[in-house]
Structure 1
């Protein structure tokens, strides 16, 4: 009788502050910050950026800016004073970024990326590249951790819903299994939200935060799935477009 193949694990971590509880068990980390960092990063590559350097602090971004790099900085949903752009995906469109190396620091997303990239292979996930990420993960042979960026170390809805969407597809492929309660919770959140992300997240804290900053168009863009097949991957200190 043929030996049954081992199933890979897929689990969800709700916050970078909890990453140490998971990191020993997984080979691939999918960093998720739907509103808005990972969406902006995917958009930049879709529009021709060569690299994106994610940095965790404004001071680091300023060093790059002073060296002549195109640098964006966001804190609490707002562009940091002295920078031309933050993490709106609309800032990463057009001819100006083609072939460029960009530098970005955000409240949550770039911190999550750098925490995971210190020890793991990291790819970038969002709703805008959802199906591409799912297809890649189904074909690769490792255990996967879906790392939600959250909000200042705390749980948020939109990243967990995106993680739930990925989880559902991986489990349905038959190649993955999961048993963490965080993964089960994300899966049920996704099942409730899938018909109307925009409506489901109407009362979410970060959507309200962005709406109060008149960023509704950003929200609509970030919550619209499958606008790109790009998958950014962290390599040698920067994110680059994965060669599929």
Structure 2
């Protein structure tokens, strides 16, 4: 079974990839896909990603939790944003959350338009995700959400981690895989220090949420693999 793995470094490049028969792994390490993974692992019934802040309001009378983030901050009037510490078992177990973020939810919707299947990746579920991907007979595209359509370090590092784990099971078909894996191999022994170079890390530090960054770099805290089914992210495993 010959399968390929590719890395798309930003959603602005997604149109260049044929993904109709591929599994797309959406990556937004700081912080959307980390928080989604943590929330689903902590028993959230579903997370509904929406494109715009105003879209959350359509769900206001359904009893769902409303989460909205823009530029790293919680939007006024919403229950919370995309800090992983808002997605604890005590807060989300059995609940449905409607979520909009600056980068991650946009990437999810773009992937869903053409992909065979869309799943969520983060350091929190790295091993669980890779173990599952090994069992699939589809090509893989790792889609980095980036920052407002620009390349970023943290998503590319995670893509490199996945490429490294799956290198014996999939054929690398683009240079972005090589770059991502090389970056990860340079940084893996101290991801946090490496990410001090990252622009988004500095944005979050300026908002006094450095603990979020540390948490999002923890490996294998979660078993859950969120999968997009219709309009809802639910647990695959």
Q: Deviations over 1:166-191 (max 9, x none)?
A: 001111xx321113111111011101
Q: Give the whole-Å Cα distance in 2 for the aligned partners of 1:162 and 1:29.
A: 14
Once the two structures are TM-superposed, the CA of residue 84 in structure 1 deviates from its matched residue by 2.2
Residue 221, structure 1, aligned to residue 215, structure 2: yes
Q: Give the whole-Å Cα distance in 1 for the aligned partners of 2:165 and 2:200.
A: 26
Q: Give the whole-Å Cα distance in 1 for the aligned partners of 2:71 and 2:111.
A: 22
Q: Deviations over 1:132-166 (max 9, x none)?
A: 11101111111000000000000000000000000
Once the two structures are TM-superposed, the CA of residue 26 in structure 1 deviates from its matched residue by 4.6
The structure number with the bigger radius of gyration is: 1
SS, match of residue 124 in structure 1: strand
Residue 208, structure 1, aligned to residue 202, structure 2: yes
Once the two structures are TM-superposed, the CA of residue 61 in structure 1 deviates from its matched residue by 1.3
Q: 1:66 to 1:15 in 2, by over 3 A?
A: farther
Q: Give the whole-Å Cα distance in 1 for the aligned partners of 2:59 and 2:76.
A: 15
Q: 1:223 to 1:24 in 2, by over 3 A?
A: closer
Residue 86, structure 1, aligned to residue 81, structure 2: yes
User: Which runs of 5 or more structure 2 residues have no equivalent in the other structure?
Assistant: none
Residue 234, structure 1, aligned to residue 225, structure 2: no
Once the two structures are TM-superposed, the CA of residue 66 in structure 1 deviates from its matched residue by 4.7
Q: Give the whole-Å Cα distance in 1 for the aligned partners of 2:138 and 2:196.
A: 35
Could you tell me whether the CA contact under 8 Å between 2:19 and 2:141 is conserved in 1? Answer: no
Once the two structures are TM-superposed, the CA of residue 46 in structure 1 deviates from its matched residue by 1.5
Within-5 A mapping of 1:1-244: 6-24=1-19, 26-120=21-115, 121-171=117-167, 174-243=168-237
User: Which runs of 5 or more structure 1 residues have no equivalent in the other structure?
Assistant: 1-5
SS, match of residue 123 in structure 2: coil
Q: Give the whole-Å Cα distance in 2 for the aligned partners of 1:96 and 1:187.
A: 36
SS, match of residue 110 in structure 2: helix
Once the two structures are TM-superposed, the CA of residue 65 in structure 1 deviates from its matched residue by 2.7
Once the two structures are TM-superposed, the CA of residue 82 in structure 1 deviates from its matched residue by 1.3
User: What TM-score, normalized by structure 1, do the two folds share?
Assistant: 0.94
Q: Give the whole-Å Cα distance in 2 for the aligned partners of 1:15 and 1:69.
A: 31
Once the two structures are TM-superposed, the CA of residue 40 in structure 1 deviates from its matched residue by 0.4
Task: Name which of structure 1's ranges 36-45 and 62-71 shifts more when overlaid on structure 2.
Answer: 62-71
RMSD across aligned positions (CA): 1.2
SS, match of residue 194 in structure 1: helix
Size of the aligned set, in residue pairs, is: 236
